[in-house]
Structure 1
Amino acid sequence: MPRHRSLEFVRMERLLHARRVGLAGSAVMCSAALIYLATATAGSAVDAAVIRIPRANGAEAGLPGTGSHPVEVVEEGPGYRVIRHAAGTTRVPASPQRVCALSAADELLAIGLKPVAHSINDGNFPDYLAEPLADVPWIPNVYGAHLPNLEAVVRVRPDLIITRNTSRQTYLQLSQIAPVVVLLDHLVNYRQRLLDVGVVVGRRRQAEARLAWYNAKVSAANAVLHPIVGSRTMAMMAVRPRIYRLFGDQNHVSPLLYGDLQMKRPDLVRNRTWSSTISPEQLLRFDADYLLVAVSGNGEGRRTYDVLRKSFVWSRVPAIRNECTLAVPKWRHWSDSGILGRARGIDDVLRLVSAESIATVNAQADAARNESLP
């Protein structure tokens, strides 16, 4: 999409602005603006953004960009490629420069491409990306979790939008602004989603190099961790205001802690399929030998943790008794992240078990990436 403010864009912005200030009903104005853009920009890059949208969705259907299934390049030409992904088939720029990252901000930064805007579906943003994206606009959600603020998206004038939003209506609306690619299942298949982002934006080699970096970091970390940890168990729990939650075998913590790093689960984790509240009585049976504690950043969460640390049941946990615990005040990289966030999780585990090894592990990862760079 051209950089200058075209007449169509000016009129689009005015229509969306009218929705905000109440010149007409919000839903009517939003629909009118999008219909106008779809017709007024005929012949531009926008009108070819959506080629096909299948009704099926998800890894079960074997769709590209879901589960372990990579996106597919079905056509390439001068200045463009056609990508088949989770929501359909889309023509994208060969080398997009203004990517609106409604998801995949982590992956974009990992391959050296800074997005022009960022967001995630639930309206919260991982704190570990706050600094590198401090000067990048945030796209909030409106009217519930399924609709990003379209006015904010238009304002950053993207030439590509990446999202994990599964709403068909939202996909159609976003596709009137710029080409849209939908990628799902990033919490478990973060390696494949990294490669997918690289393919979509024309940086396949950079993505492969970053993946080599991550895999080398996992291997180096395991070489340090397993001789020390042996057959002992490890877990992660969160302390929030007046409650404690134990992370079970779910998609946030488990793929890294029990998948990549191959740590052993305590009994209480083995019997949980998701994170859930843990009672003081259960703490008496909590047998974790190593423990990561995600402490809520607000004052009430910290006070809850201080009270817990003074309790009798807390002192009976093996990890506490043997001083094998680590408080993690900024922990969103465990709950919703890509490769960069997962790598920070590895640092947390190393800090718990062998903090002096972090520099060596990271050096080996950097060397692997440098060897793989184009």
Structure 2
Amino acid sequence: MFLHRLISLLVTAVLAFALVVACGRNLDHSATSSKQPLENCRKVQHSMGEACVPLHPQRVVTIHSSIFANAIALGIQPIATAYDMTEPFPTYLRGKVNGVELIGDLTQPNLEKILRLKPDLILGNPWAPNNYQQLSNIAPTVIPFRDLSWEQDLTELAQILGKEKAGAQLIEAYWQRIEQLKQALGNRRYQMQISVAGTFPEYIYAYGLNSAPGVILNDAELQRPPSQRKNSYYVENISEESLSEIDGDVLFCVVRGGDEGKEKLLQRLTQKPLWQQLKAVQQNHAYLVDYHWHHLDILAMNAIVDDLFKYLVNTL
């Protein structure tokens, strides 16, 4: 009896010790998973401090749509990303996102799913850094700085990923295309007023100078209607009675939801008498364009330039 009890105590002790060791390993992994051996990583300063970024990251997770697209442009294919689109990915990214897993909302990504994916680098959301500590316990996490220009955003990301040469080439190629657009338009670019607007069921808005189309149109020296010459991303809450504020020689209307979204919007707009009175509509210079016009990543910006060639150079 005594021997049986002794054996039971010994077994219990061994099991308890094994459980403590296992828990210790899990806690240790949680606390140190963001650390890499110094010879396999380099220190990067970012908005939340410092991270040791792998020299050649293979399993990158992004928590911001523009960072996701810029990483692809730089030659890094993320394994997963958070995204806020009504469709899984916009048209300009299709064909570039095979196998990419969606991990939830931009402000509240699914941490359990990220942990299961075993990333070696997480690129966080500059506009929602509140989950930085949780993410950095999973893998090295970098939160880029916010309120930068698109060039600074791309340059910073290129430095984080060790892709400085690729970043510089992308920026140079963009400016070359802008010069080609300016030459193709000639002096017309000083005379045309280009309006860019979008709609929600409740209201109509326009894009200001700080938006993606605002930046590109300014780079190409194209003119904007007076109401859109504001240093803001949006000019909001334009009433239906004030539709003339979005008129121009050319009007681009930014639409979510691809072709289906365009069809629904067109049906709604054509029922409005004031829409039919717009000069751009009457002259057949009003165009419905995809939602890439909303994004400031380099792939979206190149897609906007494609549209400008299509509608301003090849159509007008």
TM-score normalised to the size of structure 2? Answer: 0.79
Distance 1:197 1:321 in 2: 44
Q: What's 2:173 paired with?
A: 213
Which string of whole-angstrom CA distances, capped at 9 and with x for unpartnered residues, describes residues 315-368 of structure 1? 33222232222211x22x2223410111111111222211379xxxxxxxxxxx
Decide which structure has the larger Cα Rg and report it.
Answer: 2
Which string of whole-angstrom CA distances, capped at 9 and with x for unpartnered residues, describes residues 107-166 of structure 1? 11111111111124789765132431132111103xxx6331111111211110001245
Structure with greater proportional helix content: 2
Distance 2:159 2:256 in 1: 37
Report the alpha carbon displacement of residue 301 of structure 1 after superposing the two structures with TM: 6.5
1:134 corresponds to which of 64, 87, 98: 98
1:159 corresponds to which of 114, 120, 142: 120
Give unpaired runs (5+ residues) of structure 2: 1-18
Contact 2:30 2:138 in 1 (8 A): no
Contact 2:46 2:145 in 1 (8 A): no
Q: What's 1:39 paired with?
A: 28
2:302 corresponds to which of 329, 343, 348: 343
Report the alpha carbon displacement of residue 202 of structure 1 after superposing the two structures with TM: 1.8
1:1-374 paired onto structure 2 within 5 Å: 37=26, 39-40=28-29, 46-48=33-35, 78-103=39-64, 104-120=67-83, 126-127=89-90, 128-141=92-105, 146-167=107-128, 169-185=130-146, 189-241=149-201, 243-258=203-218, 260-270=219-229, 273=232, 274-284=234-244, 286-297=246-257, 302-309=263-270, 311-328=272-289, 330-331=290-291, 333-355=292-314
Paired residues in the alignment total 290
Question: Are the structure 2 counterparts of residues 203 and 263 from structure 1 closer, same or farther at C-alpha, using a change threshold of 3 Å?
Answer: same
Question: Are the structure 2 counterparts of residues 167 and 338 from structure 1 closer, same or farther at C-alpha, using a change threshold of 3 Å?
Answer: closer
Distance 1:309 1:168 in 2: 43
Report SS of the residue matched to 2:44: strand
Report the alpha carbon displacement of residue 264 of structure 1 after superposing the two structures with TM: 1.2
Distance 2:241 2:159 in 1: 50
Question: Are the structure 2 counterparts of residues 110 and 168 from structure 1 closer, same or farther at C-alpha, using a change threshold of 3 Å?
Answer: closer
Contact 1:296 1:302 in 2 (8 A): no
Q: Which deviates more, 202-211 or 125-134?
A: 125-134
Which string of whole-angstrom CA distances, capped at 9 and with x for unpartnered residues, describes residues 21-56 of structure 1? xxxxxxxxxxxx9x98552466x6x2537xxxxxxx
Give unpaired runs (5+ residues) of structure 1: 1-10, 12-32, 50-75, 358-374
Distance 2:130 2:281 in 1: 50
Question: Are the structure 2 counterparts of residues 247 and 78 from structure 1 closer, same or farther at C-alpha, using a change threshold of 3 Å?
Answer: same
Distance 2:224 2:164 in 1: 36
Contact 1:115 1:136 in 2 (8 A): yes
